[in-house]
Amino acid sequence: MQIEPLPIDGAFVITPKMFGDPRGLFMESFRADLLSEAIGHPFDLQQANLSVSAAGVLRGVHFADVPPGQAKYVSCPKGAIYDIVVDIRVGSPTFGTSHGVLLDDANRKALYVGEGLGHAFLCLQDDSVVTYLCSAGYNPTGEHGISPLDPALGLDLPTTARDGSALTYTLSDKDTAAPTLAQAQESGLLPDFDDVTAFLQALADPTVG
Catalytic residue positions, numbered: 62, 132
Contact indicator for 167, 56 with CB cutoff of 8 Å: yes
* Calculated CA dihedral for residues 145, 146, 147, 148, nearest 10 degrees: -100
Picking from 75, 73, 70, the residue whose alpha carbon sits closest to that of residue 116 is: 70
Positive or negative torsion for Cα 203, 207, 208, 209: positive
The pairing of beta strand 118-123 with beta strand 80-86: antiparallel
Picking from 121, 183, 110, 186, the residue whose alpha carbon sits closest to that of residue 156 is: 121
